[in-house]
């Protein structure tokens, strides 16, 4: 491993290509932390946005007009504002507001009270709601593709509305929505870079710090590029596998 690090140091000395985050321990540690933060951020956001999508799509078809209107309002607000604005709003307005109102639990971080929900938490919340709003619409399109007669058949067999939704409508709707969902989740992973504006130490933020300190902008840009291509490729690989596994011959395409 040491030899591997030293090879990059030699590369810098000989060619000027400065991949400082490989051979210098401090930079390496913060680079690894950054990769891990981006991966964690992506996974949390993916999961929460799916939950928001599924629950939201169900709420859209709810009997109560209030629930339906709240859902429509949520989608309008989150689809019609830039994710950058949402993150800043959540962190600086909502986060600070909760702190000020004393609604945010804090813990003692060594003589200093730190709010339970920091920059990372707010990034997860705002990005999940952002992608969630799109997921709701994606699932709705899937649900609407399930023939009414299928739901009626399920109800005739004694399913309640909720049970029919979970066991009949959702599995079928999922298959229809997967390609669109795939797109939205890829976008979500790329949008996690916006968390750098509220100082979440993810890849974009750390790359920025590293190139500010070492003036190696082209190298870090290349690394960022490769990292996101790789990360998205992993997601797409699993989504395709999933799509394949859920395929029903003769249903859809």
Partner 1 sequence: MIKHLFTAAITAIVALGLVSTAYAGNERFMKVMKRGEVVVGVKADYKPWGFRDASGKIVGMEADMAQDVADALGVKLELVPVQSSNRMQFLQQGKIDLMIATMSDRSDRRKLVGIPEPNYYTSGTNVLAPKKVGLKQWTQLTGKPVCGKQGAFYNKIVAKRYDAKVVAFVNNAEAKQALRDGRCIAWVYDDSSIMADLASGDYNDYEMPLKTEDDNPWGLAVPHEELDNIWGRFMSGMIYHWHTSGRLIALEKKWGIQPTEYLTMMKAKLEIDRAHLK
CB of 105 to partner 1, least distance (A): 14
Closest CA to 106 of 124, 123, 121, 118: 118
Contact between 173 and 151 under an 8 Å Cβ cutoff? The reply is no
- Partners of 114 in beta bridges: 107
Compute CA distances 231 → 20, 37, 100, 224, whole Å: 22, 13, 38, 10
- Quote the least distance from Cβ 150 to partner 1, whole Å: 50
Q: Can residue 110 be called a binding residue for partner 1 (CB under 8 A)?
A: yes
Please report, as residue ranges, which positions from 189 to 228 form the binding site for partner 1 (by CB under 8 A): 196-199, 205, 208-209, 212-213
Residue 96 binds partner 1 (CB under 8 A): yes
Size of the site for partner 1 (CB under 8 A): 23
Tell me how far apart the alpha carbons of residues 41 and 39 are, in angstroms, rounded to a whole number.
5
* Closer residue to partner 1 in complex, CB, 67/197: 197
* Ramachandran assignment for 166, one of left (phi > 0), alpha (psi -120 to 50 degrees), beta (any other): alpha
Is 103 a binding residue for partner 1 by CB under 8 A? The answer is no
User: What is the footprint of partner 1 within residues 112-131 (CB under 8 A)?
Assistant: 112-115, 118-119
- Applying the rule CB under 8 A, the residues between 18 and 37 that interact with partner 1 are 26
Smaller CB distance to partner 1: residue 12 or 205? 205
We find the least distance from the C-beta atom of residue 201 to partner 1, in angstroms, to be: 9
Q: With CB under 8 A as the contact rule, which of the stretches 75-83, 104-112, 148-156, 228-236 interacts with partner 1?
A: 104-112
Apex 129 CA angle, 125 and 130, nearest 5? 115
Contact stretch for partner 1 (CB under 8 A) within 6-14, 106-114, 140-148, 232-240: 106-114
For residue 117, give both structure tokens: 């929900």
C-alpha span between 38 and 232 (Å, rounded): 12
The three-class DSSP label of residue 48 is: helix
Q: What is the CA radius of gyration of the chain?
A: 22
Report if residue 60 touches partner 1, rule: CB under 8 A.
no
* Contact between 12 and partner 1 per CB under 8 A: no
Nearer to partner 1, 184 or 206 (CB): 206
Smallest distance, partner 1 to C-beta of residue 194, A: 11
The first and second tokens of residue 226, run together, are: 């490769």
How is residue 198 annotated by DSSP? G
Phi, psi values for residue 115, rounded to 5°: -65, 145
Would you tell me which residues interact with partner 1 (CB under 8 A)?
A: 26, 88, 92, 95-96, 99, 109-110, 112-115, 118-119, 196-199, 205, 208-209, 212-213
């Amino acid at each position: 491993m040491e030899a591997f690090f030293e090879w990059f140091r030699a590369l810098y000395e000989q060619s000027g290509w400065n991949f400082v985050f490989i051979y210098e321990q401090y930079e390496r540690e913060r680079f690894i932390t950054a990769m891990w933060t981006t991966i964690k951020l992506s996974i949390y956001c993916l999961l929460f946005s799916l939950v928001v999508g599924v629950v939201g799509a169900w709420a859209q078809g709810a009997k109560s007009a209030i629930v339906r209107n709240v859902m429509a309002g949520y989608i309008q607000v989150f689809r019609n504002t830039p994710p950058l604005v949402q993150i800043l709003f959540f962190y600086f307005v909502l986060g600070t507001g909760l702190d000020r109102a004393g609604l945010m639990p804090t813990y003692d971080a060594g003589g200093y009270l730190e709010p339970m929900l920091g920059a990372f938490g707010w990034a997860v919340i705002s990005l999940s709601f952002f992608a969630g709003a799109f997921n709701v619409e994606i699932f709705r399109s899937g649900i609407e593709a399930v023939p009414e007669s299928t739901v009626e058949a399920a109800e005739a067999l004694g399913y309640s509305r909720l049970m029919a939704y979970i066991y009949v409508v959702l599995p079928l709707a999922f298959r229809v929505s997967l390609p669109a969902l795939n797109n939205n989740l890829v976008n979500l992973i790329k949008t996690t870079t916006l968390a750098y504006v509220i100082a979440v130490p993810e890849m974009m933020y750390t790359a920025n710090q590293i190139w500010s300190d070492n003036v190696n902008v082209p190298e870090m840009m290349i690394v960022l590029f490769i990292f996101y291509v790789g990360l998205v490729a992993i997601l797409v690989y699993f989504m395709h596998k999933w799509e394949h596994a859920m395929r029903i011959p003769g249903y859809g395409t």
